[in-house]
Amino acid sequence: MRVGTMRALVKPAAGPGLEIRSVPIPKPGPGQVLVHVRAGGICGTDLHIWRWDPWAASRLHPPVIIGHEFCGTVTEIGPDAHGVAPGDFVSGESHVNCGRCPACRRGEPHICERLQIIGVDRDGAFTDFVVLPAQNARKLPPSTPVEVA
């Protein structure tokens, strides 16, 4: 288990801007994995959050670590986490669904009633380590360039 702090790009409060902060390294819980982030992509969502436009103001509840496009290496797995192992190179599916609502049971998890987005509704990947559900870690061939992943 990793202990200590890491760097993170944080939306600290309502309003424009972001901050680089030192935050605790998260620990994977049941069904979760800890990923050492190797690369991340900036997209329009991140710009909305930085600017604090009406969408961001209506959606975010700072403080939150931003970033939802990323790849990295699994370093730890929590209890009952399946499908990936330490050392696996993965990308992250940013839409975290509940798996229990009617939409999820119909096979439509992207319209989950309790959908959360990594880097928006829960801490994201513009950091050294990110925790996500094991089911959201997509295994990639180790030879995949980070720019492609």
Query: Which residues are catalytic, by number?
Result: 45, 48
Q: How far apart are CA 102 and CA 86, in angstroms?
A: 33
Other C-beta atoms closer than 10 Å to the C-beta of 48 total 17
CB 33 within 8 A of CB 137: yes
Dihedral pair phi/psi, residue 81, rounded to 5°: -90, 130
Q: Which residues contact 82 (CB under 8 A, 6 or more apart)?
A: 134
**The Cα angle at residue 117 between residues 115 and 122, in degrees rounded to 5:** 105
The gap from C-alpha 82 to its chain's centroid, in whole angstroms, comes to 18
Q: How far apart are CA 109 and CA 103, in angstroms?
A: 6
